[in-house]
Chains A and B, each alone.
Chain A
């Protein structure tokens, strides 16, 4: 279908975008558009205005910064996936970006859009949680704040982002050669994850987060606790369903997801810890 009518404005800068968002009710940010436009085409979303930030300078790019890698919010999945910096310093992010959608989607979709959309079935949010990524957010009057990924995802399609704020960058730790795994279990290559598991080793301990196992990406605290207590992957994975509230949908029931996640966490841990 064709979206319902809306006003369109092109932001010249982040502050301009914030100004447009502040002065128009029901305005939404358009980055790559690959989360928003499909909803608008089915008329499930009908914003009154789109603020296109696609041309704002300095919002895309990937660079190493000490023990972190900084990824501009407008950086496309395709560029994240192919980034030599990320492949070397934080390979799970590059790998996972290559698992999102399909090539055409990755040519348009952005890491910021994917994260800000806060879809629990999206791959990148769980990776951000497992990594302990930091989100940089700009608000009105040049105010800037930083939020940890685990706090950023507040609920179903709800991020810690006010109507007139813009996510500007994502900062992930350089994990370098530490072991990692992202397992995306899906029916078809182009589908969202039925269940996804992100596992990374950092400073000797493993961090695990789950895709599509609740309203937000879920940190598998029970698994991490067991691992820290010396449990082997199989034993730790048995606790993967603690604190989850997975959906039941056309792809699989909640009951199945609860069992599946244990299998996948075990496999992800074996892969991450082998590295």
Chain B
């Protein structure tokens, strides 16, 4: 069966855009219901404190206040945590309102509902908590000390999980190899900063026990299943809708206290309850990312062959677990070999509780952390043996393969061909030319020095084969679903289980279906993000949507075409074997004018006047796809920087990204994903960092102190691709949502270090702020700047 590829691979403009460019989008704060109340959270300004009592009386008497509730006043269960990665993991209890202890800046002790937004905020300020402040644990090191204050006393320790993985190969190599490189890297906490803060609106019909929750989330389906339990709402009575969602980046891959409270309070008050997060509130109450340290060891030869890789990580989990918290470092645990082929592999991590916001997925989720330390380590190795870092990478690449191959990490990698991307990136970056320029500036002791940084990466996408998730003790599956309905008027409705928030699924999915069914993208409507409209789904995260949800679409189309063929054969009075699908129609072999298109067959199936025996009316199908394997994108990023050695300031002169995400459906959207991902990675490398003071209060508590870069800070990027189709799925797709964020931080930091390595600098911490660079230079010179 052949299809004509008119739309797959084409730069089809986005169907999502018209409402977004005209201000007609439907973000959560645009939702208003009659009688709606406003909810505000009471988060006392403490880091760690025992709550003695809470006085709500003043707040209750304020204008417009309908109710003020503490944990004692509400029936609501603990928030969901779905990834207990080991049998002996210690799991803290996490209630939407803390009962007796404040454990981080974002912990809420009470919630207010009032008639207006202003009244709710005013009343929340007037709830007072009598507390006894406790010593705060503000760093991972402090959390692990023998006499550390316990954040959850019932757990007996702040170290709650230890996961190790690997052991492949000769672990003795780390002592016996001719070259052993050891490095320690710290990656600070990051604040995801979707430009739309979180928010939700809950509504109930009490007499029916029915609830609807509109929420700015990446995961309406997972939210429905878990919130049903938290709130005591039968699952079939809860509908969750993700409206237009203004970015997520992992921070909306979660189920939060406010969603549960809004539902419970809509039941309590009988009125709709709305909550919109303030940005400053977002900085403490929404999950953070990263927050890890690694001790890294590379065993190699003097010629440049990597023999073994070993990483021992400590991960800052924060004060509680959110949905996946300790699963994030585990997810990274499968990519510490990168695109290389070492003989020995070891990874382990300990998860540690601290008095800070819970960490969880942030674009890349575990894989950027892994890629950063690996790629920094490879550069350190190249420096140590005096080799070109590009050539060291090249000589260690796993040889090309187009049959799934078991990697040293223990998983099957679908396909890979790493060298072409490296070659192309070196060419686009004018690598040799910049090396010459670098030498000339070094020779001239210029104030502004050039540095070139590489990052060659692989990532693990397409989460995930359900059986592997089960083996990893994750509570849910990794499948996704699609339903296609061919309407009698020639139009097509697609219901997908993925839940886009900027990725353009409506466009990409339309391209796939248009080619598959012989219609145009304009004929197709894609529905998503509503558990009543798309009951089957596992949502959007982990670069999974196309490689799982998009593939489900493919299989649903196969079912449609199978049924359509039966009807076509009946109408054309031939056997099915005498039909071929060509030029968007089933045609009689040898008599191509005798044909039926799928829209024609959809009409036949609808009026059902003359269907073959045993064929049900209507042309529609649902497919659920559980991927047999992950997908493994790869690529090379190169960053060229200029560092002012007097001020420490870094300018990016060139950024090149050559990615391989398998088959590309829409190159324009793929490039957009890379642009955004790289920008977030540059932000991580040079600007962003959650900073806490000695008492554990967040210093970078607003957008004026947490440095999200703007248009003047992010450079133009030069992009290209190689294409190594995935062997996991029939579309050959791999995923692109996170590649930029995974690949870019080490490329940038390697470039910064490279710019000043001739001055004796071997490391610059992340983010490489001007001050950090200045200090690194000063320290390398022995203290005198």
**Interface residues, chain A, with chain B CB atoms under 8 Å away:** 1-2, 4-5, 42-43, 185, 187-191, 194, 249-253, 256, 259-260, 263-264
Which residues of A have CB within 8 Å of B647? Answer: 185, 260, 263-264
Bound Cα distance from A206 to B709, whole angstroms:
35
The interface stretch among B29-37, B118-126, B448-456, B615-623 is: B118-126
Bound Cα distance from A270 to B700, whole angstroms:
35
Contact B700–A250 (Cβ < 8 Å): yes
- B774 close to A (CB within 8 Å): yes
Contact A1–B278 (Cβ < 8 Å): yes
Min distance, Cβ A145 to any Cβ of chain B, angstroms: 34
- B27 close to A (CB within 8 Å): no
- B710 close to A (CB within 8 Å): yes
Q: A185-B770, A188-B708, A252-B770 are in contact. List 7 more A-B contacts (CB 8 A).
A: A4-B125, A187-B769, A188-B709, A249-B699, A251-B705, A256-B774, A259-B785
Closest chain B residue, CB of each to CB of A266:
B646
Which residues of A have CB within 8 Å of B121? Answer: 1-2
Which residues of B have CB within 8 Å of A263? Answer: 646-647
Bound Cα distance from A251 to B775, whole angstroms:
14
**Among B646, B702, B770, contact of A42 (Cβ-Cβ < 8 Å):** B702
* A-B contacts, 28 listed (Cβ < 8 Å): A1-B278, A1-B280, A2-B117, A2-B121, A4-B122, A43-B125, A187-B687, A188-B687, A188-B707, A188-B709, A188-B712, A189-B712, A191-B704, A191-B707, A249-B699, A249-B705, A250-B691, A250-B699, A250-B700, A250-B705, A250-B706, A251-B705, A253-B771, A256-B770, A256-B771, A260-B774, A263-B647, A264-B647
- B713 close to A (CB within 8 Å): yes
Bound Cα distance from A191 to B702, whole angstroms:
12
The number of chain B residues with a CB under 8 A from chain A is 30
Contact B771–A252 (Cβ < 8 Å): yes
Closest chain B residue, CB of each to CB of A194:
B770
Contact B646–A5 (Cβ < 8 Å): no
Known: A252-B770, A253-B771. A190 touches B702 (CB 8 A): no
Which residues of B have CB within 8 Å of A42? Answer: 280, 702
Secondary structure of the A side of the interface? Answer: loop
**Interface residues, chain B, with chain A CB atoms under 8 Å away:** 117-118, 121-122, 125, 278, 280, 646-647, 649, 687, 691, 699-700, 702, 704-710, 712-713, 769-771, 774-775, 785
Bound Cα distance from A115 to B708, whole angstroms:
27
Bound Cα distance from A253 to B775, whole angstroms:
11
Query: For chains A and B in complex, what number of residue pairs have CB atoms within 8 angstroms?
Result: 58
Min distance, Cβ B586 to any Cβ of chain A, angstroms: 58
Bound Cα distance from A252 to B706, whole angstroms:
13
Which residues of B have CB within 8 Å of A256? Answer: 770-771, 774-775
Which residues of A have CB within 8 Å of B122? Answer: 4-5
Closest chain B residue, CB of each to CB of A257:
B771
Min distance, Cβ B781 to any Cβ of chain A, angstroms: 13
Contact A187–B280 (Cβ < 8 Å): no
Bound Cα distance from A89 to B621, whole angstroms:
75
Which residues of A have CB within 8 Å of B774? Answer: 256, 259-260
Contact A187–B707 (Cβ < 8 Å): yes
The 10 closest A-B pairs by CB, nearest first: A189-B712, A256-B771, A263-B646, A250-B705, A252-B771, A1-B278, A250-B691, A250-B700, A250-B699, A187-B707
Bound Cα distance from A187 to B649, whole angstroms:
9
Bound Cα distance from A189 to B712, whole angstroms:
7
Which residues of B have CB within 8 Å of A191? Answer: 704, 707
Closest chain A residue, CB of each to CB of B711:
A189
Contact A188–B646 (Cβ < 8 Å): no
Contact A188–B713 (Cβ < 8 Å): yes
Bound Cα distance from A268 to B190, whole angstroms:
35
Min distance, Cβ B166 to any Cβ of chain A, angstroms: 38
Bound Cα distance from A188 to B679, whole angstroms:
14
Which residues of A have CB within 8 Å of B705? Answer: 249-251
Bound Cα distance from A5 to B771, whole angstroms:
41
Bound Cα distance from A190 to B687, whole angstroms:
13
Which residues of A have CB within 8 Å of B785? Answer: 259
Min distance, Cβ B648 to any Cβ of chain A, angstroms: 8
**Among A43, A189, A251, A252, contact of B713 (Cβ-Cβ < 8 Å):** A189
Which residues of B have CB within 8 Å of A2? Answer: 117-118, 121
Which residues of B have CB within 8 Å of A194? Answer: 770
Closest chain B residue, CB of each to CB of A263:
B646
Bound Cα distance from A42 to B280, whole angstroms:
8
Min distance, Cβ B204 to any Cβ of chain A, angstroms: 27
Closest chain A residue, CB of each to CB of B775:
A256
